[in-house]
Structure 1
Amino acid sequence: MTFDQILLFALFGVILSMLLWGRLRYDLVAAGGLLVAVAFGLVPQEKAFSGFADPAVVIVALVLVVSRAFENSGALTLVTRRLVSDHRPTSRHIAMTGGIGAALSAIINNVAALALLMPIDVEAARKAGRPPGVTLMPLAFATILGGMVTLIGTPPNIIASGIRERLLGSPYGMFDFAPVGGAVAAAGLAFVALVGWRLVPHRADQSAATKPSSFEAEVSVPEGSTAIGRHPTDIDEEARTADVIVLGLVREGRKLPRMRMPAIAAGDKLRLKGSSDAIAAFIKALDLQQPGDRQEGADVEADQPAGRTRRRSGRKEDNKPEGEEEEQRDKGPEVVEAVVRADSLLVGRSAGAMRLRPRFGITLLGIARAGTLTRRGVHDNYIAAGDVLLLTGRGTDSATLDLLGVIPLSRASVAGTSPGRVAITIGLFAAAIAAASLGLVSFTIAIAMAVAAYAALGIVPAREFYLQIEWPIVVMLAFLLPIGAAFEEVGGTALIAEGIVTLTRDYSPVVALLAIMVATMTLSDVLNNVATMVITGPVAIGLARELDVNPDTFLMGVAIAASCAFLTPIGHKNNTLIMGPGGFRFSDYWRMGLPLEVVVLAVSVPMLLVVWPL
């Protein structure tokens, strides 16, 4: 071993140990490792930050914006009505979403498949009251497994086909991977649905963070709402679907219970009970109170207590800078759940007294508090430190919320579902996938074009881009990639591959096949699966020739193994994507990933010997 190889092996060992330890933030560990590599000359200074231009890093950021586009347009609502259920058992839910994800991954990029299904899965988890990580990790693994079925399903298959064409004379066909890959995907999906999800770490802080607060909210009925003219029983279906309870309504300052509710009229306020996501879904379903100009321009300030209406002045609000007003007009309508800090301006005061809407462009929909609330209306109730508020309006930007002394916990879009917007959103995404599949542009460029179109059409307002991206994860990946590239350049991966050849030369070909698959899996868990396949593919063919056996058996085995990156969040982009939303630590993945890799080996090796005999 050369001195550089020894240094890189040691550095990788330290980085992985620190990440597994979990006491320091993973992006800081990655940054420290990169700086050490640069200091020792292992990574050239000019390549230190090249990871930020890597397509893998760009894709991780872009697909999160794509997910937001599908949410904002209402495209996900069409699916969640059938897919999301708080009564479906966890195993059945995982089998359903994982099966769809695996099927999609066989024909589109598996990152794109996860991006489509991840928001649906998170919503299902919140409605069922379980941590999203319990189902997110099985879903991510299922989308990785599905890519093994076809030539275009995952990059290692494409690289394996190229290696075969170069070394053996002809490439693989579209479905040559299907017999072995399909069996592995089916077995893996059965494992994650029946057993694997039970192995996902379940910490108390994850449960607390994902358990939705229950609000008693008052939501205005504007002109044009589909609720106008309907009675309580007429909106039960929408209430049931959104998972809210309609308590009654407020008309001209008088509270009317559900049993005495007349037909709903414009200007009424519906009294609801449910989580922030449920109330947001109900607002969207009936086109109720929308934060925007049509509401903010009303002549009468509704946040004042009954009998004390106040005319709005025509002057511009002093505490809203002109640039910020422009930014807020770009915001999509949304409902924000926020907790009140101890030093908040709101503590001890009511929304009516603070005049939240005329001063800050914010409407208070509801308050959630431990204990019993008073019988006052939402806008007359005194706010206390620790209360969770349900807010809407043009003033729900981070700067205004920070000024008020509240911390946003979640945001939910309440933009109405438009068939045209849904068609455009899905059409742009489908066009991007088609362009990438036909080789017209790379997948990264195709997705970037779709994201740019979403921004131009206002489906995802530009200011939302930065809110959707998990920056610590993006930074971690960008810092680790140059170290991985240096490891390959100094011959570290080649050294490992040569060792495998030496150790397995005198054993049964089946043992040699198993050994190189295990080594490939191990490399793929810490390195890019493309780089892993580039190194181990030729070695697999060389090893098969030395053993005088069928090269396809070994090359197919390595292609399967290169896709099985289940032990770390850096092994595959799908693992990285779920790290933030699932609340995972670096050391959480192996608990389900290790037995899944054993299942893959147990199924794939016999299948390889049958489909591609030695």
Structure 2
Amino acid sequence: MTGEQILLFAILGLTLAGFAWARLRYDVVALLALLATGLTGLVPPEEMFSGLSHPAVITVAAVLILSRALLNAGVIDVLARRLTRVGDRPMVQVVTLTGVVALSSAFINNVGALALFMPVAVWMARHAGRPPSFLLMPLAFGSLLGGTLTLIGTPPNIIIASYRSETGTPAFGMFDFLPVGLAITIAGIAFIALVGWRLTPQRSEPADDGGLFEIENYLTEVRVPESSNYAGRSVHELIESVADEADVMVTALLREDERRRLPSTYEVLRPGDILLIEADSDGLKALIDETGVELAAGEDAETDEDDEQAAGELTLTEAIIAPNSRLVSRSAGVLDLRERYGVNVLAVARQGKRLKQRISHIRFLPGDILLLQGREDSLPGAMNRLGCLPLASRGLDIARPRHVLLGAGIFAAGLALVAFDLLPVATALVGAAVAMVIAGLLPSDDAYRAIDMPVIVLLAAMLPVGQALETTGGSALIAEALLGMADHLPAFLMLALLMVAVMLLSNLVNNAAAAVLAAPIGIQIAQGMDASPDPFLMAVAIGASCAFLTPIGHQSNTLVMAPGGFRFGDYWRMGLPLSLLVIAVAVPSILWVWPVAG
């Protein structure tokens, strides 16, 4: 082993440890690995940032934009609406939801497909009187299986396709992954529907009325008297006076004959103003004691009717925070949600339980469930801008047919250009993404927001590192160690061994990083066996995409963890037998479609 190889393996070991440790985000870990290999000369300076222009990176970005455009066009909403009619039988719900999300994941980003159908799953589970956990894990695993169906279903497939072009043969096409992917997807869905969902922890939610939140707060009128120190001060100052003690929301302001719903927090209070306060009894008492406002209910006979009218345009809804939401890692206080979006966050639930800490201090995470209050006509738009998905079927709006057909047509045209080899995949999909923006299906600002930059940075950083593994002879060294077993093992066991190794790696690190590191090794094994690299690259693709054992192996697994109330150790119960089934089905399927003989 040369000095360069020792140094590279040390860097890769620290990188994998950083991925598994998860204290730093995976894109930051990847950048550190790139800097380490660049500063030590393992990656030439002129190639350090070559990953940014790699076709695989461009293709992944285009797929993310197209996925968002298809969601905006309502293509997937049509399917989601139909799913609410499948009935309450658990097996029917599981097979239908898992099958539809798998099909959707073949053509749009699998995390995006899961995020859209997850609210439907939660609604269906509650409607049937069961905890959402029995549907959410099958849904996540279905999105991973569906990603194996096509070139654009998941980033590992795009990466593997680009590595194939380095072997002197054309890159894998749009549907080259379909035969093997379809076999494991059908087998996986059948297992999940018949057996797998029964292995999922069935954790009950705390509420007994079909919803997650028990609403303890109520609307109360308070009046600002002349003697109050807060006459002439803002609504914001009034609320902040008790911010450390209680959650208090001002839902309306009544001033003479004028009624303002969700008034600005910068509104200056006047003596005689009546405020509709959303607070529990302790919060209301703290507000009265601290500010000198007075209870105003019952002062005249028309007040109750007027209050109902004033509050009538306000509505409550539960929503899940999507992975790309602008709420992630930020708090309601920092975002100033009332002023900027016209919504109040009344409660937050995480891992199936309502959080008891101060809402203004909670840093939101993907998968958190929020109880939002806002005007009925503007709340859906505010949730869309914030990146939240409603937990109710009525929130799934079917777009106009013109948008559905237009979006589907542009996407189908892009796929056809790739399928018939008329344009390279990156060129065709970037063109389709631009067409979506020009057609008005996706605002240009939303197109940039649709790009998951941590994934893009991860790929751009790890591709040169993966290349260093090959140029230093590191991949050949690992392949030689594995080839020592080739004399005693048949080809199908070598494929299975490689797939198991990649599958284990992808459960600890990002699946794209696993594909980047494992693809050169697969090629070296094929060369050492004087075999075709195709079956080994396919084994890497399947292994990198099927991370069923942990919540950190894939964003889909992470996304369902909070609303399903799952723990780290829950995933292997269904994930382990599913992984074994995938290996048992994938290996013979690969050898049938992609023979080992070169």
Bin for the TM-score computed over the shorter chain = 0.5 to 0.7
Of 409, 427, 438, the match for 2:409:
427
Q: Deviation per CA, 1:382-413, whole angstroms, max 9, x where unpaired? A: 99984654335999899x99xxxxx9572668
Partner of residue 252, structure 1: none
1:84/1:123 contact within 8 Å kept? no
The one-letter code sitting in structure 2 at the alignment partner of 1:424 is L
2:101/2:113 contact within 8 Å kept? yes
Q: Deviation per CA, 1:464-515, whole angstroms, max 9, x where unpaired? A: 3344444444444443333223223322222211222223324556554544
Determine helix, strand or coil for the equivalent of 1:599. helix
1:567/1:593 contact within 8 Å kept? no
CA displacement at 1:42 relative to structure 2: 2.7
CA displacement at 1:138 relative to structure 2: 1.1
1:98/1:143 contact within 8 Å kept? no
Of 132, 137, 141, the match for 1:138:
141
2:19/2:26 contact within 8 Å kept? yes
Determine helix, strand or coil for the equivalent of 1:565. helix
Partner of residue 424, structure 2: 442
Partner of residue 585, structure 2: 603
CA displacement at 1:428 relative to structure 2: 0.9
Change (3 A) 1:439 1:408: closer
Of 369, 373, 380, the match for 1:390:
373
CA distance in 1, matches of 2:455, 2:281: 38
Structure 1: gaps (5+ residues) = 217-340, 361-365, 402-406, 546-550
Q: Deviation per CA, 1:507-544, whole angstroms, max 9, x where unpaired? A: 5565545445545656785646477556524633652x
Partner of residue 377, structure 1: 308
Q: Report whether the alignment pairs 1:559 with 2:544.
A: no
Determine helix, strand or coil for the equivalent of 2:485. helix
CA distance in 1, matches of 2:244, 2:142: 41
Change (3 A) 1:114 1:423: same
Determine helix, strand or coil for the equivalent of 2:68. helix
Partner of residue 188, structure 2: 188
CA distance in 1, matches of 2:416, 2:495: 36
Change (3 A) 1:15 1:590: farther
CA distance in 1, matches of 2:279, 2:419: 51
CA distance in 1, matches of 2:146, 2:590: 22
Of 443, 451, 467, the match for 1:485:
467
CA displacement at 1:35 relative to structure 2: 2.9
CA distance in 1, matches of 2:48, 2:538: 30
Partner of residue 220, structure 2: none
Partner of residue 6, structure 1: 6
CA distance in 2, matches of 1:62, 1:395: 30
The one-letter code sitting in structure 2 at the alignment partner of 1:562 is A
Determine helix, strand or coil for the equivalent of 2:399. coil
CA displacement at 1:430 relative to structure 2: 1.0
2:249/2:278 contact within 8 Å kept? no
CA distance in 1, matches of 2:201, 2:471: 36
CA distance in 2, matches of 1:435, 1:576: 30
Determine helix, strand or coil for the equivalent of 1:351. strand
CA distance in 2, matches of 1:66, 1:171: 21
Q: Report whether the alignment pairs 1:578 with 2:556.
A: yes
CA distance in 2, matches of 1:4, 1:394: 63
Partner of residue 363, structure 2: none
CA displacement at 1:15 relative to structure 2: 2.0
The one-letter code sitting in structure 2 at the alignment partner of 1:559 is M
Of 410, 418, 422, the match for 2:400:
418
CA distance in 2, matches of 1:531, 1:440: 30
Partner of residue 76, structure 1: 76
Q: Report whether the alignment pairs 1:124 with 2:125.
A: no
CA distance in 2, matches of 1:488, 1:79: 44
Q: Deviation per CA, 1:193-212, whole angstroms, max 9, x where unpaired? A: 4455677799999x9xx976
Partner of residue 465, structure 1: 447
Q: Report whether the alignment pairs 1:536 with 2:532.
A: no
The one-letter code sitting in structure 2 at the alignment partner of 1:189 is I
CA distance in 1, matches of 2:411, 2:173: 26
The one-letter code sitting in structure 1 at the alignment partner of 2:444 is A
2:502/2:540 contact within 8 Å kept? yes
CA distance in 1, matches of 2:309, 2:86: 28
Partner of residue 258, structure 1: none
Determine helix, strand or coil for the equivalent of 2:423. coil
2:97/2:139 contact within 8 Å kept? no
Between 417-426 and 373-382, the greater mean CA deviation after superposition = 373-382
Change (3 A) 1:460 1:501: same
1:19/1:587 contact within 8 Å kept? no
1:22/1:586 contact within 8 Å kept? no
CA distance in 2, matches of 1:204, 1:370: 25
Determine helix, strand or coil for the equivalent of 1:146. coil
Determine helix, strand or coil for the equivalent of 2:250. coil
CA distance in 2, matches of 1:137, 1:481: 27
The share of aligned pairs that are identical, in percent, is 30
Q: TM-score, with normalisation over the residues of structure 2?
A: 0.58
Count of residues in correspondence between the two structures: 462
CA distance in 1, matches of 2:174, 2:449: 39
CA distance in 2, matches of 1:474, 1:589: 30
CA distance in 1, matches of 2:175, 2:73: 35
Change (3 A) 1:211 1:5: farther
The one-letter code sitting in structure 1 at the alignment partner of 2:5 is Q
Partner of residue 114, structure 1: 110
Of 252, 266, 269, the match for 1:351:
252
Q: TM-score, with normalisation over the residues of structure 1?
A: 0.57
2:180/2:589 contact within 8 Å kept? yes
1:213/1:368 contact within 8 Å kept? no
Change (3 A) 1:475 1:485: same
CA displacement at 1:424 relative to structure 2: 0.8
Structure 2: gaps (5+ residues) = 127-131, 217-241, 266-275, 285-296, 298-303, 315-337, 339-343, 348-370
